[in-house]
Amino acid sequence: MTGFGHARSSRGGVALEIEVKTVNHRFLDLSFKLPRAYSSFEGDVRALLQAGLQRGRVEVYISRTLAPQSADAVKSDNAKSGSGKSDARQAAGGARVVCNQALLVELYRVQVESLQQLGLLQGLSQAQETELRTRIATDLFRRQDVLEVPDEIADVSAERGLLLETLSAAISQVTSMQDREGAHLRQDLEGRLATLERLRGQIESRAQEFHANLRARMIERVHKLAPEVVLDEARLASEVVVAADRSDITEELVRLGSHLAQFHSALTKEPSGKRFDFLLQEIHREFNTIGSKAQDAALQRSMLEAKMEIEKIREQVQNIA
C-alpha cells in the first residue's frame, strides 16, 4: 500500500528531518542513503524499517543539520587552525570549509611556471594573462584535496536514539496512512463480495426456473424444427433427464458459496494476499464451469458480470500482503 510519513526532531544542536514514502510492491524493497556521519547506524535503520513495514517499495530521506554557531565559537575555531590550512566558517549557518593553502599555492606555482616554460604566456596582454591566471586558480578550487568540508562531529553515537525516534515517528505515520487505506480497501472488497453473492443467488434462482421449464422448452423446440414428428413421452422424459443432469450446477453453486464465505471470513480476520489469490482462482473456476453448463442468456449475463467483479477484486488484493 502507499504511505507517507514525515517527522522532525532536534536535540543537542542537531536537527533531523526524515521522510518515508512507500508504494505497492510484492516484497519489501528498501532504498535509503544515510548522512555520512550516520554510516554506522545503517543496520539499525534497516532493522527498524523491516520491523515496521511488511512490504512495498520504500524510499527514506534523512536530513541532518547542525545548529548555527556563535561568532565567538567561529573565532576560536579559526584561531586553532594551522599547518598550512585555513579554516573558514559561516557563523550564520555553522558550515565549515577547510582550504589547504600550501597545496593550492604549490599547484598554482607549478602550473604557471609550466606555461611560462612552454611559452604559452608570451604575446598575451596583461588582461589576457590575468584572465588565464584567474581561470587556473578557479579550477584548482574545484579539487577535493584543496577545499574540504570535514565532518565536524567525530562521535555521533549520542545521536543514534534521536535518529531512531524520529524514524519511528515517520514510520508510524506511514502505517497509520496504510491502515486508513486498508479500511477503504476492505470496504470496497466487501461491497464486491456482496455483488458476487447476489449474482450467485440470481444464478441459483434462474437455474431452478431453467430446469423446471426444461421439458416445455424441449417440446417447443422439437415442434419448431419438425412439426410433423410425434413425440415419444418415454424418450422425451429420458432426454429431459439427460439434459437436466448435463446442465445441473448444484455442486458448483455449493462450492461457490463455500469459497465466498471463506473469502469473507479471511477478510474479517487476518487478510492474506496469498489466501485471497487462491480463493479467487477457485471462485473464478466455479463461475467458468457454471458458464459452460448454463445454456441460458440470463445466466450468461450474470457470468459476465461476475467475472468483471472478480478481476476488480484481483487487482485490489495485490495491495494486501
Which pLDDT score, from 0 to 100, does residue 204 have? 83
Same domain, 142 and 275: no
Instruction: Give me 210's grid cell.
Output: 431453467
The answer to whether residues 103 and 18 belong to one domain is no
Question: Are 160 and 282 members of one domain?
Answer: no
Give CA–CA dist 46/163, Å, rounded.
Answer: 12
**CA-CA distances (angstroms) from residue 42 to 7, 36, 160?**
18, 10, 10
Separation of alpha carbons 93 and 89, rounded Å: 8
pLDDT along the chain (321 residues), means of 10: 90 92 88 88 94 91 76 47 51 63 91 90 89 91 79 72 95 92 88 93 78 62 63 61 64 90 84 82 90 77 90 84 58
> Grid coordinates standing for 151?
565532518
Query: Do 76 and 129 belong together in one domain?
Result: yes
Report the CATH number at residue 61.
Answer: 3.30.230.10
In a domain, 8, yes or no: yes
Q: Report the pLDDT value the prediction gives residue 182, as an integer from 0 to 100.
A: 84
Classify each residue of 119-151 as buried b or exposed e, where b means 16 or more C-beta atoms within 10 Å of its C-beta.
eeeeeeeeeeeeeeeeeeeeebeeeeebeeeee
35 within 8 A of 77, measured Cβ to Cβ: no
Same domain? 261 vs 192: yes
- Considering the domain architecture, whether residues 224 and 137 belong to the same structural domain is answered as no
Tell me, what's the pLDDT at 17? 94
Q: Residue 42 belongs to what domain range?
A: 3-66+156-174
Angle between helices 297-317 and 273-293 in degrees, nearest 10: 170
> Per the structure, how many domains does the chain have?
3
122 and 23 together in one domain: no
245 lies in some domain = yes
Instruction: Compute the half-sphere exposure of residue 51: CA atoms within 13 Å on the CB side of its CA.
Output: 10
For the entire predicted model, the pTM comes to 0.57
